[in-house]
Structure 1
Amino acid sequence: MTEHLAVDDSGSVDDSGSVDDRGVDDSDVDELLARARELIRDGRRRILGITGAPAAGKSTLAARIVAALGPAAVLVPMDGYHLAEAELHRLGRHHRKGAIDTFDAAGFVCLLRRLREAGPATVYAPEFRRDIEESIAGAIPVPPDVPLVVTEGNYLLADQGEWAAIRDLLDEAWYVEVDDETRLSRLVARHVAYGRDPAEAAERAYGNDQRNAEFIATTRSRSDLVVTLTAG
């Protein structure tokens, strides 16, 4: 049964992958931190998945959890498995970048399986760079002695194709949500910050991104915990 938790979000939390210190304070996420610590109480490798619609605040929350846990946790975003720009153009999907079929789902599943095994060697994960709109291979090291891997992304709870394997690879899954007005405002601002003009940014947020958000909402019930970010 899915649990629910409301977390005060008194600042501007975007979903860009950077931590906004005006956003969710560490004091507001004590219950979430306790939950994450309980996952790794025995010291064994665990994977925590944090999902939600674009600009819901999942990247910032994931970064807060990892920062609070220090060397006990590593953040491995799903976005490292974006298909390359050239491949998206070849497939005719570039205008839908961010949709479920614009990622290498099988590659991401293979990474999660390697991370679960926690063998003797460091596992390297790719990192998506918004400034160049490409992924960089081998950018995130995950040493074997790190007990918690936090992964965040839009489609962690999808039950179609290769994505369906992910849910069983997660020891716990959190679904992050915020009211649509706030989320869409953040999303438009994020697109503008990365170089789109306001009209193009709005078209993207209310078009392709919103279609993706509506699909992601259908996966909400597969989570262990719904974290609702409320305006402070």
Structure 2
Amino acid sequence: MTGPPRRSPVVHREGLDELLERARELARDGRRRILGIAGPPAAGKGRLADKLLQGLGDSAALVPMDGFHLAGAELRRLGRQNRKGAPDTFDVSGYLSLLRRLRAQTGGGNDEVVYAPEFHRSVEESYAGSIPISAEVPLVLTEGNYLLLDREPWTEVRGLLDECWYLEPDDGKRVGRLIARHVRNGMSRGRAREWVMRSDERNAALIAESRGNADLVIPGDIG
């Protein structure tokens, strides 16, 4: 399962209810499906995923890509601590392995629980084994920056997703949210703006190049 979808992305101009129904359709037959939500930093990926989870209830679970951030000590060893969030600051092989395990996981008496890591912004580190995914859950949501990236080994992610949506909010609002997020996590406003314009927005430009690999492009903010 590799490569981009076989058609150009559809631009979604309706609301959350229509997106929720599209997600329900993926889960309707009870078989394991994986829905990706991609987009640049602070696009609202986690917010949309949370809204979908609220509407889908026990039929869905969420595994964020952010759980595969490399640890701070490893980033310092590699000399990458000043560009955390770039593609090579994640354990992409670990993320791919998790997606493959989730695809292979089935219900019908299979009691296996797959555990995923969770990233905690308060400490800027991931905790292993934090998110349990039951075999009976038909739809797994996964959200992150690089789900559609045309760069090895990230290209393998797209083939493990049944469908992937790309969020495309207003850039001015998105950058403002991103600066505010860094400030909440302890940066001064000046330092936050410098980090966003030097690092996050460089990543955002790279992510935007992958827009055409989505099934659905969602402009603006949802909800």
TM-score range, shorter chain: over 0.9
**Correspondence for 1:161:** 152
Query: Could you report, residue by residue, the CA deviation over 1:127-168 in whole angstroms, capped at 9, with x for unpaired residues?
Result: 000001110000000000000000000000012112111111
1:5 maps to which of 7, 12, 27 = 12
2:60 maps to which of 56, 67, 73 = 73
Secondary structure of the structure 1 residue equivalent to 2:116: strand
**Contact 1:127 1:137 survives alignment (8 Å):** yes
For residues 206 and 60 of structure 2, the distance between their equivalents in structure 1, rounded to whole angstroms, comes to 29
Secondary structure of the structure 1 residue equivalent to 2:153: helix
Gaps of 5+ in 2: 1-7
Q: Tell me which amino acid in the other structure corresponds to 2:105.
A: A
Q: TM-score, normalised by structure 1?
A: 0.89
Query: Could you report, residue by residue, the CA deviation over 1:27-59 in whole angstroms, capped at 9, with x for unpaired residues?
Result: x40100110011111110000000000011111
**Contact 2:44 2:221 survives alignment (8 Å):** no
Q: Tell me which amino acid in the other structure corresponds to 1:202.
A: R
1:123 to partner: Cα distance: 0.2
**Correspondence for 2:19:** 32
For residues 190 and 13 of structure 2, the distance between their equivalents in structure 1, rounded to whole angstroms, comes to 33
**Correspondence for 1:229:** 220
**Correspondence for 2:200:** 209
Q: Tell me which amino acid in the other structure corresponds to 1:198.
A: R
2:87 maps to which of 100, 119, 136 = 100
For residues 48 and 100 of structure 2, the distance between their equivalents in structure 1, rounded to whole angstroms, comes to 24
Q: CA RMSD in A?
A: 1.2
1:6 to partner: Cα distance: 2.9
Q: For residues 230 and 127 of structure 1, do their structure 2 counterparts lie closer, same or farther at Cα, with a shift above 3 Å needed? A: closer
The aligned length equals 212
For residues 86 and 140 of structure 1, the distance between their equivalents in structure 2, rounded to whole angstroms, comes to 23
1:231 to partner: Cα distance: 8.9
For residues 161 and 221 of structure 1, the distance between their equivalents in structure 2, rounded to whole angstroms, comes to 17
**Contact 1:51 1:58 survives alignment (8 Å):** yes
Q: Tell me which amino acid in the other structure corresponds to 1:2.
A: P
1:230 to partner: Cα distance: 4.7
Q: TM-score, normalised by structure 2?
A: 0.93
Q: Does 1:194 align with 2:201?
A: no
Secondary structure of the structure 2 residue equivalent to 1:227: strand
1:124 to partner: Cα distance: 0.2
Q: Does 1:91 align with 2:98?
A: no
Secondary structure of the structure 1 residue equivalent to 2:166: strand
**Correspondence for 2:5:** none
1:82 to partner: Cα distance: 0.2
2:210 maps to which of 209, 219, 223 = 219
1:61 maps to which of 1, 23, 48 = 48
**Correspondence for 1:174:** 165
Q: For residues 108 and 6 of structure 1, do their structure 2 counterparts lie closer, same or farther at Cα, with a shift above 3 Å needed? A: same
Gaps of 5+ in 1: 8-27
Deviates most, 162-171 or 213-222: 162-171
Percent identity between matched residues is: 56
Q: For residues 145 and 81 of structure 1, do their structure 2 counterparts lie closer, same or farther at Cα, with a shift above 3 Å needed? A: same
For residues 13 and 197 of structure 2, the distance between their equivalents in structure 1, rounded to whole angstroms, comes to 26
